[in-house]
Amino acid sequence: MTPLRQRMLEDMGIRNFAENTQLSYLQQITLYARYFDRSPDELGPEQVRAYQVHLTKTRKLSPSSIGTATAALRFLYKVTLKQNWAPDDIPMPKKPFKLPVILSREEVMQFLDSVANLKHRTILTTAYAAGLRVSEAAHLRVTDIDSKRMVLRVNQGKGRKDRDVMLSPRLLEELRSYWKSARPKTWLFPGGTPGRPITRNAVELACRKAHRAAGIRKPITPHSLRHAFATHLLEAGTDLRKIQLLLGHRSLATTSRYLKVATSTVCATTSPFDLLPKLDPPTLAPSPPAVF
């Protein structure tokens, strides 16, 4: 490990960055250095700009992927290398705003019914029933189930924050049935590696298999179940602030995007077309005579 890589790793550790963030930033800086075949401390703003053009024009990466690389470069030059030029001036690509595709309750049931493996069905059911991110569901421990208080403890979720989420009576029944069959020890959903939880890739693979089996045309990922959880709560009249707390969102603005897809808001107003008098269908023009 080079001294620069070690220092950047220490800088991120001091700031308590999540492990995945640290690995991602190091990977981005490695790719940046390889592109120029030089150490990053020998490069400057012109090379950063050229690299961003390369990511945009040549590799045609999404704004989200370019944003990750940009965040890593900003951290390197501002925090670790403390450059006298302004790393904050490195432009951050604007992400397009996209509404999530929402599964109906019937589609959620159809999807979960298509998951053949008991462990996979239980973890995906938990993701929907408690609104969890896939990484949060994968890292649940047996001791995180508090049936006395009817809550699930999410340890160190996104942003390294703990939170309690609802444990519905029906989900508790599903988890007890799963536990009697699988008998997990530490991790509620153990993975293939002894002593480790199920991986995110394994959950996503199970999701893709169930998606094909269900025959649902809408795109489905494990995160789709979290979107459905929030939207279905909102449609049932749950307060937006409560949904924010359950999801673990830092900002209420993040949660409010579900207002744009919930039928309780989108379909709450009558279309002016429905207020018009019913129109008679137009008369069809006579068919032209046959020419032979």
The catalytic position among 158, 200, 209, 257 is 158
Count the neighbouring beta carbons within 10 Å of the beta carbon of residue 27.
Answer: 13
* Alpha helices per DSSP H over 40-154: 45-53, 63-75, 105-112, 118-130, 134-138
What tokens were used for 103?
């599964």
- Tell me whether residue 158 is one of the annotated catalytic residues: yes
- Tell me whether residue 7 is one of the annotated catalytic residues: no
**Rounded-to-integer distance, Cα 52 and Cα 59, Å:** 10
Q: Which of these, 114, 79, 125, lies nearest to 209 by C-alpha position?
A: 114
- Tell me whether residue 226 is one of the annotated catalytic residues: yes
**Rounded-to-integer distance, Cα 241 and Cα 226, Å:** 16
**Rounded-to-integer distance, Cα 69 and Cα 55, Å:** 9
**Rounded-to-integer distance, Cα 112 and Cα 174, Å:** 12
- Tell me whether residue 249 is one of the annotated catalytic residues: yes
Cα 103 to the chain's mean position, in Å? 15
- Tell me whether residue 120 is one of the annotated catalytic residues: no
The catalytic position among 78, 163, 223, 257 is 223
- Tell me whether residue 227 is one of the annotated catalytic residues: no
The catalytic position among 74, 121, 211, 226 is 226
What tokens were used for 16?
């308590």
- List all residues 6 or more positions away from 241 whose beta carbon is below 8 Å from its beta carbon: 252
Cα 255 to the chain's mean position, in Å? 13
The catalytic position among 5, 200, 209, 249 is 249
Q: Are 108 and 225 in contact (CB under 8 A)?
A: yes
The catalytic position among 74, 133, 139, 227 is 133
**Rounded-to-integer distance, Cα 154 and Cα 164, Å:** 6
Positions marked active-site: 133, 158, 223, 226, 249, 258
